[in-house]
Amino acid sequence: MSSILQIIALQFAYVSLLSIRLILMVKGVRYVAALISAVEIGIYVAGFKIILDHLTSPLHFVVYCLSYAGGVLLGVRIEERLAIGYITVEVVCDEQRDDLAARLREKGYGVTRWLGEGKEGKRWVHTVVTKRKLQQQLYQDICNRQVLLS
């Protein structure tokens, strides 16, 4: 039974690190990604050895596969908490809100604004760029101003 728990722990650690490493590589954080890969491969070898020692046990194999899936979910959760990178949000207003762009800029958001035309007339389109960590705060700042999100 302890080998089952070891497999679960190792797979969760291995696959979580794998997910985070891939995201860091895409974001260009190479040295941290390389360091994580060194730890990751050590964990992988340890887990794979346990599986090889229990090749005749279908339970070990199933646990290995299911814990891989669990590790993916955990890795995604960790990445969401890290919130690396930037997002772009478009805010469309049916009236000119000269203060919206200025107020969002005062809060540190990057805002580009232009006049567009919709089905029912002219619309002001604001493109807001911010760190992903600030996404929920941006939505709150926008909604506090009675603005539609697109």
pTM above 0.85, yes or no: no
Kindly state the average pLDDT of the residues 134-143.
Answer: 88
Taking the mean position of all CA atoms in its chain, how far away is CA 77? Answer: 7
Confidence of residue 50 (pLDDT cuts 50, 70, 90): very high
What was the pLDDT predicted at 148? 41
- Token readout for 41 is 């491969």
Q: Is the dihedral of CA 14, 34, 46, 6 positive or negative?
A: negative
Domain boundary among 27, 62, 82: 82
The pLDDT assigned to 6 comes to: 95
Predicted local distance difference test score (pLDDT) of residue 98: 61
Domain residues for the domain of 124 are 86-149
Together in a domain, 97 and 132: yes
Among the candidates 66, 82, 98, a domain finishes at 82
Helix (H, G, I), strand (E, B) or coil at 122: strand
Q: How confident is the model at residue 145 (pLDDT cuts 50, 70, 90)?
A: low
Report the DSSP beta bridge partners of residue 126. 91, 113
Q: Are residues 31 and 102 in the same domain?
A: no
| For the chain, percent of residues with pLDDT exceeding 70 | 93
Q: Are 107 and 140 in contact (CB under 8 A)?
A: no
